[in-house]
Chain A
Amino acid sequence: MRLQLDNQVALVTGATRGIGAAIATVLAEAGATVVGTATSESGAQRISDALSSTTGGGRGAVLDVRDAEQIKQLIDNIRDNEGAPSILVNNAGITRDGLAMRMSDEDWDAVIDTNLNAVFRVTRAVLRGMIKARHGRIINIGSVVGLMGNAGQINYSTAKAGLLGMTRSLAREVAPRGITVNAIAPGFIETDMTGELDDQQREALLEQTPMQRLGQPGDIAAAVCFLASPAAGYITGETLNVNGGLLMS
């Protein structure tokens, strides 16, 4: 079985680094034309460079996912250039860690805005095209902490848990139109985000992970590619754990 995404247009948010960058590349290698978003011009350029040598090709684009007007402009722009996105990967996310007692409203709001509210807005913006086409794949990047919780991440885990509910409700709404909506819940993956863990935290994590290693961005990208492909056409509303066995549900 080969996972072919020829003639598909994929939008991947937060594709400059880490998991998002790996997803953009893997989808483009599978044949999709990929638009990856970045918060800066230099980030967008980096995405364009990374995609230039892939099978499906693509480009980077600047997007602040919190800005509804920018979302609309980008979706219109993609529709006019590459065609309406048939694959959406909601990957962009931030962390503002802190214990609940000491967490500021700003840190709470920033994470909920970017990791939850923005996902809804980007999704809503691409739905029209998918419903018209009677085909679509929406893949939300959640987190294992949305399922198991994590001390110091009340904002992040709340947003990620919310994302899973969003995934299921939307899956029910749009299934009759040939659109699947799924989530992936990565465990701890080697990226800049987990680079902030200290050695002790890292040790403790590895002890709880049966595979005894952190995941690689490519582990998540492969799962995204599967869910985006025709092979996963009967899977919807599902949360796929990709965590080396850290949590099994």
Chain B
Amino acid sequence: MSSIEERVKKIVVEQLGVKEDEVTSEASFVDDLGADSLDTVELVMALEEEFECEIPDEEAEKITTVQQAIDYVNRHLDQ
């Protein structure tokens, strides 16, 4: 079973079509990984599916970096 961090990074690689070594924790989806607004929506949808949760819009807006995605999932799965 891979860690949440690995699973999140794998989704980012798949969704944005970027290389694994580009997906650092601090990487911003838009500024560093070249995502457009539709990409970020798709990314959130993919996270929702992977972790079987629903991410409300106001939370989704705050997820702009890889680390923020990992943190969100960690927080959510704790509950």
Contacts and interface: CB of A to CB of B under 8 A. Distances in A.
Interface string A153-180: 0000000000000000000011011000
A173 B38 contact: yes
A176 B45 contact: no
B42 interface: yes
Contacts of A173: 38
A176 B36 CA distance: 10
Interface in B13-44: 36, 38, 42
Contacts of B45: 128
Contacts, number: 8
Tell me if B's interface is mostly helix, strand, loop or mixed.
helix
B5 to A, nearest CB: 24
A177 B42 CA distance: 11
Nearest to B39: A176
A3 interface: no
A197 to B, nearest CB: 44
Contacts of B38: 131, 173-174, 176-177
A52 to B, nearest CB: 35
A131 B36 contact: no
8 contacts: A128-B45, A131-B38, A131-B42, A173-B38, A174-B38, A176-B36, A176-B38, A177-B38
Interface of A: 128, 131, 173-174, 176-177
Interface of B: 36, 38, 42, 45
